[in-house]
Structure formats: C-alpha cells, structure tokens
Structure 1
Amino acid sequence: MTTPLTLVGRAGEEGDRVLLVTGEIDMSNAAQFGAALDRELAAGTTVTVDLTGVAYLDSAGVAVLFDRAAEHDLRLVAPRLLDRVLRVSGLTEVVKVMIR
C-alpha cells in the first residue's frame, strides 16, 4: 500500500521552480517523489522543495534528495518536525535548508 502523498509543482520567482509536498515520504512513494522532483529539475535551474506539509520523511525520501543534491541547486523548506532528520542525515551540509 502506498502512503498518501501530494506533489504539486509550480513556477517560483525568477525562473526557479517549487515542489510543494504534502503527506508522508517513505519507501512506498519515494519513486513518485523522485519523479516529481526530476520533472521540476528539468524545468528550472533552482528547485525549492517545500516540505512544510510533510509529517514523516524516512531514509528513502532522504536518499531521493541526496541523489539529486550534488548535480542540482536544491533548497529545502521544512517544518521543525523534520529538522533533526535533515541534520542527522547530513542534508543540511549539501543543500540550503530553511526550517519554519
């Protein structure tokens, strides 16, 4: 069974893209998350991944972000709930993260 996840891409400011994510990201839907992120990366040079509506992020979701961080300009906006997982995983060292 796939965990519910909503992914909405839109244009941001100055030619960048935004991927608004709502729900939970785990191994059941990480490929779906990765595909949506890839579409946004193909459409813009900078992508902000808005995770403020995400209640859970497991290692599969973290891996999706790490896989793309080296070659792309990713920015994350995340709720305080995800702060620890982003720091412990090391994502805060490779992408710009704003905690809200």
Structure 2
Amino acid sequence: MKKLFVLAAAAGLASLAACNSSPREQTADNIEANADAVADNIEEAADNASTSATEASLDNQADAVRATGQNQAEDMRTHDPDTNLSNGM
C-alpha cells in the first residue's frame, strides 16, 4: 500500500510541477521523482531487513539512487543533451 501511495504522490507532484515549466524541466522533475520513488522502496526494504548489515547496505543503495537521480536531473537542466555542452539554463 505504501508503494502505491508513493507512486501516486510522485505522479501527482510531477503533474503539479509540470505547470509553467519547460519540457526539459518537466523531464528533470520526473527523473527526480522516479529516483525518489525507487529510493523510498529500497528504504522500505531496509526497514524490513533481517540484519543490520543488510539494512545499512540497502540504505546506502537508496542514498546512491537518490544522488544519481539528482545528478541526472541537474544534468538535464543545465546541459544540451545533443551536444553535452552547457546551455546556461
């Protein structure tokens, strides 16, 4: 049930964020929302882990997923995907 709520919330936030923003910004927001949803699911699995080592590993994976999503979104906002050159957005 939590996963469904997280995904619904992410979709709702993405649609709200889509108002008055460019397609590139919308895509960046979607990248972040998807990464956050995946990271939330990994953290939920960490909460249910049987050992503390497994929990720590899953928490680290969730942090890595969030960081990757943020980096990809920032790259989408600031670089031209066709040339990999900064466009100053």
Same fold (TM over 0.5): no
TM value normalised by structure 1: 0.28
Bigger fraction of residues in helix: 2
Bigger fraction of residues in strand: 1
TM value normalised by structure 2: 0.30
Larger Rg: 2
